[in-house]
Copies of this chain bind each other. A is one copy, B any other.
Amino acid sequence: MIVVMRRNCSQAEVAHMVERVESLGLKPHVLVGVERTVIAVIGPERDGLKETLETTPGVSEVLPILAPYKIASREVKPEPTVVRVRGLTVGGGHLGVIAGPCSVESEEQIMATARAVKAAGATALRGGAFKPRTSPYSFQGLKEAGLQLLAAAREETGLAVVTEVLATEDVPLVARYADVLQIGARNMQNYRLLEAVGRTTLPVLLKRGPSATMEELLLAAEYILDAGNPQVILCERGIRTFENHTRFTLPLASVPYLHAKTHLPVVVDPSHGTGHTWLVPEMASASVAAGADGLLIEVHPDPEHAVSDGYQSLNLEQFRHTMELCRRVARAVGKMMNASLCYGEAATAAAVAEGAVRA
Contacts and interface: CB of A to CB of B under 8 A. Distances in A.
A304 B52 CA distance: 6
Contacts of A357: 277-278, 280-281, 314-315, 318, 321-322
Total copies of the chain: 4
Interface in A201-239: 209-211, 213-216, 219, 222-223, 226, 239
Interface string A274-313: 1011111111011111110000000000011111111101
Contacts of A240: 211, 240, 242
Interface string A228-263: 000000000001111111100111111111001000
Contact of A253 (B33, B219, B283, B352): B283
Contacts of A286: 252, 286-287, 289-290
Interface stretch (A43-51, A88-96, A106-114, A153-161): A43-51
Given A249-B239, A253-B274, A306-B55, A356 B134 contact: no
Contacts of A253: 246, 249-250, 273-274, 279, 282-283
Interface in A331-357: 331-333, 349, 352-353, 355-357
A313 to B, nearest CB: 8
A11 interface: no
Interface stretch (A115-123, A144-152, A164-172): A164-172
A13 interface: no
Interface residues of A, number: 125
A256 B285 CA distance: 12
Nearest to A355: B321
Residue in A137, A219, A243 whose Cβ sees the most chain B Cβ within 10 Å = A243
Contacts of A352: 321, 324-325, 328
A85 interface: no
Nearest to A302: B55
Given A47-B137, A186-B190, 20 more contacts: A2-B40, A47-B138, A52-B310, A54-B310, A56-B304, A70-B137, A134-B189, A211-B240, A239-B249, A245-B257, A252-B283, A253-B283, A256-B282, A280-B357, A283-B290, A285-B289, A289-B290, A324-B355, A328-B349, A332-B332
